[in-house]
Structure 1
Amino acid sequence: MLTLDLAFFALAIPATIFAGISKGGFGSGAAFAAGSILALAVDPGVALGVMLPLLMLMDVAGLKAYWRKWDWGEVRLIIYAGLPGVALGAALYQVANADVFRFLIGGISLAFVAYQILLRGGYIPKPKRPMGPKAAMVTGVTAGFTSFVSHAGGPPVAVYLLSRGLDKLTYQSGTVLIFWAINVMKFVPYSFLGIFTWQTLLADLLLAPFAVLGTWLGVRAHHMISERAFFGVTYVLLTLTGSKLIFDALT
């Protein structure tokens, strides 16, 4: 049950703006932090249901800014392979309880932070050669699954696209297209699984202006704020929320 009170909006408004900034200007990789933050206050399924329409709205807003600036040859296999990944996520949702999803969301959050720290510290070597079609298919399945269970498809997509040596604009445009497509795929099973309710839809209506505002800010921040500063804040948020979600799931 979702209660649209002051405590909910105190978390939901900044989380929505933050997700919009990420999707609009920084490759979508950190947008799932919004779902992790909301899952601290509401059932994980409710958090997923609130965030998906908002993420789809951000996708539409971002598509206009980056329209046809992507490289279709680089993203098409990921999009095609996203469908079976979404199907796997839907199958898990039907048999798992809320604590499983709290643990998954928390674990993915901490894994994202750990990967980025190890990569930036040179402990994980960057790919020396561009990844090929098989890697693109694995990326798509992984992104579809993690996106379904926690809106966290960004990291595997980032790893693949960065290995391809794309310029900043083509990379950003590609992530916008990929997650627009995957989020559309998720909408139908979310509907059938009862993840959307009248309360989540009302919350989306009230939060929609903040989603658009965040995306608008992200498009502009793309050229003004360093990725290092933005993701530094992201890592702190994900570490705190991920740890709390895992603790709640286990206790």
Structure 2
Amino acid sequence: MISFDLAFFAVAVPAVLFAGISKGGFGSGAAFAALAALALILEPAVALGLTLPLLMLMDAFTLRPYWRRWHWPSARLLILGGLPGVALGAVLYRVAEPDVFRVLIGAVALGFVGFQGAVRLRLLPARARPFSAATGLAAGVAAGFTSFVAHAGGPPVAVYLLAQGIGKTAYQATTVIAFWAINLFKAVPYGFLGIFTAQTLLADLVLAPVALLGAWLGVRAHHVVSERLFFGVTYTALGVIGVKLIWDGVT
């Protein structure tokens, strides 16, 4: 159930705004934060169903400013791998309990923060040459799976794209087209599994202006705002949220 009270909007509005900014200008890395934050106050399935239409709205908005600026060979592999990854996520969803998803979302959040921290501290060596096509497909499968169960396909996509030697805008545009396709793949099984409800769709209508505002701000900020500042705040919040979700799931 969704209670449209002050607590809901206090969490949902900044979470959706940050997700929009991330998808609009910073490679979708922080878009996962919206689900993680909402999972603190909603059942995981409700949070998943509420978030996906908003992410799809952000995808549609950001397609135009990045149209054909993506690296198509990489995007094609990620999209092709994303379809079986989504199918794997649908299978897991049918057999897992809600607390499993709380722990999974929390673990992905902490893993994401750890990965980004290791990259920035140069604890992970830079890839000397681009990954193979098979690795691109594997990254797509991983992105499809983690995106289905937690809207968290950013890390495997980032690992793959950072090694491809493409520019900042091509990187951003490639994540836009890849997740536009993967989120479309997810919508069909979400519908069949009953993840969308009248309440989640009503919440989406209420939060749609926030999603569009965030995406617009992200596109504008792509060339002017420090990624270090934006992601520093986001990763700190994700770390705290991840610990809380794991605690709630195991207790």
Please state which band the TM-score falls in when normalised by the shorter chain.
over 0.9
Q: Which residue of 2 aligns with 1:189?
A: 189
Q: After superposition, give the CA deviation of every residue in 1:166-201 in whole Å (9 maximum; x if it has no partner).
A: 011111100000000000000000001010000000
Q: Which residue of 1 aligns with 2:169?
A: 169
Q: After superposition, give the CA deviation of every residue in 1:134-193 in whole Å (9 maximum; x if it has no partner).
A: 110110000000000000001110110110010111111000000000000000000010
1:33-112 correspondence to structure 2 within 5 Å? 33-112=33-112
Q: Which residue of 2 aligns with 1:7?
A: 7
If the length of structure 2 is used for normalisation, what is the TM-score? Answer: 0.99
Does the aligned pair in 1 maintain the 2:71–2:166 contact within 8 Å? Answer: no
Identity of aligned residues (%): 63
Unaligned runs of 5+ in 2: none
If the length of structure 1 is used for normalisation, what is the TM-score? Answer: 0.99
Letter in 2 for 1:132: S
How far apart, CA to CA, are the structure 1 residues paired with 2:124 and 2:161? 17
Instruction: Indicate the SS of the match to 2:166.
Output: coil
1:219-238 correspondence to structure 2 within 5 Å? 219-238=219-238
Residue-pair matches, total: 251
Q: Which residue of 1 aligns with 2:123?
A: 123
Instruction: Indicate the SS of the match to 1:66.
Output: coil
Give the drift of 1:87: 0.4
Give the drift of 1:71: 2.1
Letter in 2 for 1:194: G
Q: Which residue of 2 aligns with 1:146?
A: 146
Instruction: Indicate the SS of the match to 2:12.
Output: helix
Unaligned runs of 5+ in 1: none
Q: Which residue of 1 aligns with 2:248?
A: 248
Letter in 1 for 2:111: A
